[in-house]
């Protein structure tokens, strides 16, 4: 088994501080916070403390936060909960597949749906919309890291923060927003849906009570996510420098490379396409050298499926690999990765 010394995959193992606390979290977080017994009351107090901690980090009110155990469900709740009779739905060609699925459902139901194109740099082309319409707005792309300017005023906005997380909070007004715990190296299976207090939102799921979302999340994992977020914010962040080192090396040492991540992209994401190599073979060769990377679409069930994001941007798809630069990545790991990448590309090109 190859020992991975440089993990540039989207998924990230929990930091040791959080992992060490997991046993304690499961010991404290098993009771149902809605019940009246003592241990449940203690769990309810713990849950409220976690809610307030997230609210502070996400710059929202604590009563605007809903926790969900399946982050992808947040797209349906956040989008369909805002749609009214006669609302048009606008989304972009680089949105996640879950957004595509919601848009397809609404279109089949007779709603007017518009897919907004993007330019070569992944900038969404904005369109006129009324205050009765809903715009899905991606704060940052999960493959390229490219960020967007604030959307035009007018329509309601669902802010997709699943990739940007706390690295770039929305600087515009929105009605609903979705965050994913994995964006700050927290555990999978925890989503945070923000429903602003002034939003005219209603639960689109079948329900017979006043609950806004299913309470199927794991309280112990929620506690782990909160600690992960605190640790993430406290860690030193050298990713911008490390990303630039990788880009500089590629630009100087490897020919025929297209870098889809622009100057406006988040420091943690880098997408490159290398002419003359097959992405799957490059991925496996790098793995043999101890470096794990991603390839293909970041939001499809089959990882090696071609990227609809790059296709929408008109960028090369073949030979594409994606790097997620985690805060634990060191300068030495980056230097070793660059050498490994150069060697792998030369080998696969037959040089």
Are 138 and 148 a contacting pair, CB within 8 Å? Answer: yes
Would you place residue 149 in the very low, low, confident or very high pLDDT band (cuts 50, 70, 90)? very high
Weakest-pLDDT range from 122-126, 208-212, 333-337: 208-212
Domain boundaries along the sequence of the chain: 6-12+236-348, 16-234
In 29-68, which residue ranges form alpha helices assigned H by DSSP?
Answer: 38-58
What mean pLDDT, rounded, does the chain reach? 92
* Residue 74: closest CA among 170, 201, 264: 201
* Residue 22: closest CA among 212, 191, 218: 218
Instruction: Give the contacts of 244 (CB within 8 A, at least 6 positions apart).
Output: none
Are 95 and 140 a contacting pair, CB within 8 Å? Answer: no
CATH T-level topology, domain 6-12+236-348: 3.90.1150
Would you place residue 301 in the very low, low, confident or very high pLDDT band (cuts 50, 70, 90)? very low
From 3.40.640.10, 2.40.50.220, 3.20.20.10, 3.40.50.1820, which CATH number describes the 16-234 domain?
3.40.640.10
Quote the CA–CA distance of 40 and 90 in Å, as a whole number.
43
> Tens digit of pLDDT for each residue in 57-94?
999 999 999 999 999 999 999 999 999 999 999 999 99
Written as one string, the DSSP assignment of 83-131 is --TT--EEEETTS-HHHHHHHHHHHHTT--EEEEPB-TT--B------T
Q: pLDDT at position 184, please? A: 96
Provide the sign of the torsion angle of the four alpha carbons 88, 91, 92, 94, taken in this order: negative
Residue 1: pLDDT above 80? no
């Amino acid at each position: 088994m190859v020992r991975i010394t440089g993990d540039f995959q989207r998924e990230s193992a929990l930091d040791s501080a959080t992992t060490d606390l997991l046993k304690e979290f499961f010991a404290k977080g098993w009771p149902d916070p809605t019940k009246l017994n003592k241990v449940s009351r203690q769990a309810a107090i713990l849950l409220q403390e976690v809610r307030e901690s997230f609210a502070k980090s996400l710059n929202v009110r604590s009563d605007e936060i809903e926790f969900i155990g399946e982050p992808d469900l947040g797209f349906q709740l956040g989008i369909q909960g805002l749609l009214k009779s006669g609302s048009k739905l606008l989304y972009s060609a680089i949105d996640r597949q879950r957004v595509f699925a919601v848009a397809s459902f609404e279109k089949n139901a007779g709603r007017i749906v518009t897919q907004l194109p993007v330019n070569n740099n992944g900038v969404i082309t904005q369109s006129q919309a009324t205050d009765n319409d809903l715009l899905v707005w991606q704060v940052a792309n999960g493959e390229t890291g490219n960020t967007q300017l604030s959307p035009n005023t007018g329509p309601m906005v669902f802010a997709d923060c699943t990739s940007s997380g706390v690295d770039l909070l929305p600087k515009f007004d929105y009605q609903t927003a979705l965050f994913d715990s994995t964006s700050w190296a927290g555990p999978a299976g925890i989503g945070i849906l923000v429903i602003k207090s002034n939003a005219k939102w209603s639960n689109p799921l079948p329900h017979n009570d006043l609950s806004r979302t299913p309470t199927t999340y794991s309280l112990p994992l929620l506690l782990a996510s909160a600690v992960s977020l605190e640790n993430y914010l406290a860690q030193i962040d050298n990713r911008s420098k490390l990303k630039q080192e990788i880009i500089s090396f590629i630009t100087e040492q490897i020919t025929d490379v297209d870098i889809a991540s622009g100057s406006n992209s988040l420091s943690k994401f880098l997408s490159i396409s290398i002419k003359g190599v097959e992405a799957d073979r490059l991925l496996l060769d790098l793995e043999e050298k101890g470096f794990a990377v991603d390839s293909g679409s970041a939001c499809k069930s089959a990882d090696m499926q071609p990227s609809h994001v790059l296709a929408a941007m008109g960028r090369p798809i073949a030979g594409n690999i994606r790097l997620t630069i985690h805060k634990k990545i060191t300068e030495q790991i980056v230097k070793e990765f660059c050498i490994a990448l150069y060697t792998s590309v030369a080998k696969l090109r037959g040089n």
